[in-house]
Amino acid sequence: MLFKFKSQATADMIMLEPDARKVLQIIGKDASPRGIITTDQIPQAIAALQAAVAAEDERAQAAKTPDLDQDPEDADGQDVKASVGLKQRAVPFIEMLRRSAAEQADVVWGG
């Protein structure tokens, strides 16, 4: 399933369901098929996403090992270099939220 985020201030943004659920969970929203982030909620959403990205960056830095013969792996055993992190998903969404806030436009989504 796809989630399409819309705002009158930006182009639409499409995310796969697992990525959208993670982003919505971080900002305290239910990953229902339809929803809204009001302009009043946008500053808190941006702050929550930035904090989550910073925490993920800190975990990634702590997981780095000086042994160059080993590939870094996450808890699931997946190669960290091959995965797309929260930062790559969140930064475009944060920009959408910022532009929406600047133009006093809500962000809505639908499946």
For 5, other C-beta atoms within 10 Å of its C-beta total 24
pLDDT grade for 72, boundaries at 50, 70 and 90: low
DSSP reduced 3-state for 8: coil
Residues 24, 32: Cα–Cα separation, whole Å: 9
**Predicted pLDDT of residue 9:** 96
The pLDDT of residue 105 is above 80 = yes
Let me know: does 97 contact 45? Beta carbons within 8 Å. Answer: yes
pLDDT range class, residue 13, cuts 50, 70, 90: very high
**Mean residue pLDDT across the chain:** 86
What does DSSP say about strands 107-110 and 34-37: parallel, antiparallel, or unpaired? antiparallel
- Predicted confidence at residue 21, as pLDDT, reads 93
